[in-house]
């Protein structure tokens, strides 16, 4: 039996990064070698030193939505906070909301824009369980993205300034290659890349491939069961095009490595892998990567440091080797690496 207690660790609160670095690529990067069972400290700006000509670097080009919503209950005036999750074909939204007191179907929420001005109203249609609601926005003419740009805020995780957005977060909590809107959290390993670093990577001859996986609400939820085998994994939508699959398979056939930038890319690649061969794929994945998972196409991974008892930490330790990654985390704490979304990273080779 795999117990969640095995994925706990102590982290001083001051090591949780509250602000991004002025220069993204100045983040520290711990290079962990599974073969030698050793690690060395470097920086993301030296990332190209770790690349080979036939490698394929796989990026998640999802774009973070301004999904955090603030407002008040029209009936009571009480504060309400929510997170937009998705829009159905009939125009209704799925949101996760919280407020004091009991809230009922038929109530309305008045949303406030970033200047605290009243505007859009959400009619609560039906509870969906676990704090989720089906709601109908009062404006059916304006597009979803336009409404979120006005009434939404950057959905920072609560460990960053208690989720309070600064203006700089609009740019910094987004990768420089973000393209397809749909996530409610950033694929944080990708936050370290700059346009200049991307050009350097291309100059090495390394192939760059893009996939899309929209990070969902499950990212915020810790594992609540004591036994990993009893955890119900959340689903996230992802897509790998046929050209991307061919590009990755081509690199591997020439002896190159598939280097995944982030756990989101790993989950998507492994969901679409079939006996070591990647195929074009699109749909929902609820793949929970835990021991004794056998990786089919991922050879190396760049990843940030993850919360204790999280599915992401389980994935990373499964990939890198449980004892090695546990010790590497201990070293990162001792050497005062910066943790979580705006923090430093680890390259597991």
Q: pLDDT per residue over 123-176, tens digit each?
A: 999 999 888 999 999 999 999 999 999 999 999 999 999 999 999 999 999 999
Fold annotation for 68-153? Thrombin, subunit H (2.40.10)
**Phi, psi dihedral angles at 271 (to 5 degrees):** -70, -30
Segments making up each domain of the chain, as ranges: 4-64+170-348, 68-153
Task: Say how many CA atoms lie within 13 Å of 193 toward its Cβ.
Answer: 27
The pLDDT value recorded for residue 233 is: 87
- Please report the pLDDT score of residue 300 as a whole number: 98
Contact 152, 84 (CB under 8 A): yes
State pTM to two decimals. Answer: 0.95
pLDDT digits (tens, 9 = 90+) for 221-233: 778 888 888 888 8
Identify which has the larger pLDDT, 28 or 220.
28
As a whole number, the mean pLDDT across the chain is 95
pLDDT at 1 over 70: no
Q: Other CB atoms closer than 10 Å to residue 327's CB: what's the count?
A: 14
Cα separation, 312 vs 188, whole angstroms:
12
Contact 236, 211 (CB under 8 A): no
d(CA 2, CA 301): 23
Distance, CA of 347 to chain centre: 17
Classify domain 4-64+170-348 at the CATH topology level.
QueA-like (3.40.1780)
**Mean pLDDT confidence for 32-50:** 98
Q: Is the pLDDT of residue 115 over 70?
A: yes
Task: Give the strand pairing for 68-73 and 108-112.
Answer: antiparallel
Query: What is the DSSP pairing of strand 207-213 with strand 56-60?
Result: parallel
Element (H, E) at 348: strand 345-348
């Amino acid at each position: 039996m795999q117990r969640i207690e095995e994925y706990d660790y102590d982290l001083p609160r001051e090591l949780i990064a509250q602000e991004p670095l002025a220069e993204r690529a100045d983040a520290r990067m711990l290079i962990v070698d599974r073969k030698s069972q050793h690690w060395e400290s470097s920086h993301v700006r030296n990332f190209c030193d770790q690349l080979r000509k036939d490698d394929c670097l796989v990026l998640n080009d999802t774009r973070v939505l301004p999904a955090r919503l603030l407002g008040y209950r029209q009936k009571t005036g009480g504060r309400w906070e929510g997170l937009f999750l998705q829009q159905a074909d009939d125009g209704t939204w799925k949101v996760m909301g919280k407020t004091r007191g009991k809230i009922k179907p038929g109530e309305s929420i008045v949303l406030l824009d970033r200047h605290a001005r009243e505007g859009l109203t959400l009619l609560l249609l039906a509870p969906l369980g676990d704090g989720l609601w089906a709601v109908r926005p009062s404006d059916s003419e304006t597009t979803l993205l336009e409404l979120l740009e006005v009434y939404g805020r950057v959905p920072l995780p609560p460990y960053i300034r208690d989720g309070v957005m600064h203006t700089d977060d609009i740019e910094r909590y987004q990768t420089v290659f973000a393209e397809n809107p749909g996530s409610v959290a950033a694929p944080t390993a990708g936050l370290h890349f700059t346009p200049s670093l991307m050009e350097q990577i291309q100059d090495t001859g390394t192939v760059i491939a893009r996939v899309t996986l929209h990070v969902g609400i499950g990212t915020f939820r810790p594992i609540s069961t004591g036994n990993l085998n009893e955890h119900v994994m959340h689903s996230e939508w992802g897509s790998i095009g046929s050209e991307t699959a061919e590009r990755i398979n081509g690199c591997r056939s020439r002896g190159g490595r598939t280097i995944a930038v982030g756990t989101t890319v790993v989950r998507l690649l492994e969901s679409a892998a079939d006996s070591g061969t990647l195929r074009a794929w699109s749909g929902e994945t609820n793949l929970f990567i835990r021991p004794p998972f056998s990786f089919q196409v991922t050879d190396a991974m760049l990843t940030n440091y993850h919360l204790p008892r999280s599915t992401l930490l389980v994935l990373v330790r499964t990939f890198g080797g449980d004892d090695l990654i546990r010790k590497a985390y201990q070293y990162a704490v001792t050497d005062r690496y910066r943790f979580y979304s705006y923090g430093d990273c680890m390259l597991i080779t």
